[in-house]
Amino acid sequence: MALYPQLITDILKTVRYPGNGKSLVENDMVEDDIRIDGKKVTFSLIFEKSTDPFIKSVVRSAEAAIEHALPGEVEIRGGIAVKTRRPAPAKPAALLPGVRNIIGISSGKGGVGKSTVSANLAVALAAKGYKVGLLDADLFGPSQPKMFGVEGEQIYIENVDGRDLIVPVEKYGVKMLSIGFMVDPAKAVLWRGSMASNALRQLIADANWGELDYFLIDMPPGTSDIHLTLVQTLPITGVVVVSTPQEVALADARKGIAMFRDEKVNVPVLGVVENMAWFTPAPHPEERYYIFGEGGGERLARETECPLLAQIPLVAEIASRADAGIPMALVTNEQDASDPRTLAFRTLADDVDAAVARRNLNLPPSHKVETH
């Protein structure tokens, strides 16, 4: 029997990928490099991750299917190469052409410190010398104006190349916008989903963000229309998921991770931040009390195969400085520079920076990269 590439492809249509039950061809896992040299057949199978647990079984199934369909006609053992799919480089957002990386900060539920982490991460990245923007997308509970100490700030419009654009408020080296600048802080925002989504698009598209290395989005808690609006509007580089070690928070964080990994959303999860990981009394810095449980964030990271980016302690000063509009990541004196709470957020910025670099270079989470 004459061997030809399409014959091999037709056989591989009968081999199913255990992850979703579809054939290798339906999953676009068969690379267009089938080679036939006499009886010897070689080709490549493409997997999403190098850690895919089904690699060996799929290769064996492909070999068995070809040998069964063409008994004695082929030599296939060792002829199947395994490759990892390389995502196309992220294109600059049409709405934000000057932005290099867009990072979402998400949480499964409210009250876990997502906005505190967002503010401190933005300040810590700016301290590394990056140009940083922060969008407060929690339209029904905006808190960034207070955390940056700019409540009541007047918002201005400027004309740029014939367009009237909102000028972001700038403080601590971070450009920031929030719906909190445009509504009465004493009143609830009573908007339907479409109104909220339109307001969010306006804060993105009709603002003069300029050139940015990082554009952080403080997302609302849970999963909602706003999340879908963001992932459909912007090419998000990845998300950071914040949770406390408490089981009820971890359960919601798992749902959030699953949402971003859903094939209809398909946004990379850069890692997990365990906030309020433990309580340390100020007079006894060596002591740790696990008020919300111990190691929950570590378990979440391990179970979901996400890097654990940081463990932030529960410290009263983090909250008091946030209320005062002075993020903990901001170095205001010599003591701050060595404060373990400040260093925790600075380390988080380093790890997020490294995770983004690996993502952009399509490198595994364990690969070391140089950042500044």
42-55 pLDDT, tens digit each: 999 999 887 888 99
| Residue 181 and residue 210 in contact, taking contact as beta carbons nearer than 8 Å | no
| Residue 16 and residue 23 in contact, taking contact as beta carbons nearer than 8 Å | yes
Sheet architecture: strand order including 35-37: 35-37, 40-47, 80-84
Token digits for 181?
């600048």
Average pLDDT over residues 170-195: 77
- With the CA atoms of 173, 179, 184 and 185 taken in that order, what torsion angle do they form, in degrees rounded to the nearest 10? -60
pLDDT at 217: 95
* pLDDT tier at 182, thresholds 50, 70, 90: confident
SS3 of residue 40 by DSSP: strand
Question: Residue 366 pLDDT more than 60?
Answer: no
| Residue 297 and residue 260 in contact, taking contact as beta carbons nearer than 8 Å | no
Whether this prediction's pTM lies above 0.75 is answered by: no
Q: What is the pLDDT of residues 312-364, one digit of tens each?
A: 988 888 888 888 888 988 877 666 677 777 888 999 999 999 989 888 776 66
| Residues making up the chain, counted from first to last | 372
Report the distance separating Cα 124 and Cα 350, nearest Å: 9
Q: What is the pLDDT of residues 210-255, one digit of tens each?
A: 999 999 999 888 766 677 778 877 889 999 999 999 999 999 999 9
Report the distance separating Cα 198 and Cα 137, nearest Å: 12
Residues paired with 341 in a beta bridge: none
Report the distance separating Cα 314 and Cα 333, nearest Å: 22
pLDDT at 52: 84
| Residue 262 and residue 242 in contact, taking contact as beta carbons nearer than 8 Å | no
pLDDT at 191: 60
Token digits for 238?
């990845």
> Which stretch, 8-17, 81-90, 285-294, 359-368, has highest mean pLDDT?
8-17
pLDDT at 314: 87
Domain architecture of the chain: domains with CATH: 5-84 (3.30.300.130), 99-361 (3.40.50.300)
- Alpha carbon distances (Å) from 229 to 194, 205, 281, 309, 324: 10, 13, 42, 26, 32
The residue type found at 120 is N
Angle subtended at Cα 352 by Cα 260 and Cα 99, rounded to the nearest 5 degrees = 80
- Alpha carbon distances (Å) from 210 to 156, 195, 206, 214, 218: 15, 26, 11, 11, 19
Q: What is the pLDDT of residues 66-122, one digit of tens each?
A: 999 999 888 998 889 998 876 544 444 467 889 999 999 998 778 898 999 999 999
| Residue 222 and residue 109 in contact, taking contact as beta carbons nearer than 8 Å | yes
pLDDT at 303: 92
| CA neighbours closer than 13 Å in the CB half-sphere of residue 150 | 23
Angle subtended at Cα 291 by Cα 285 and Cα 292, rounded to the nearest 5 degrees = 130
Instruction: Report percent pLDDT > 70 for the chain.
Output: 88
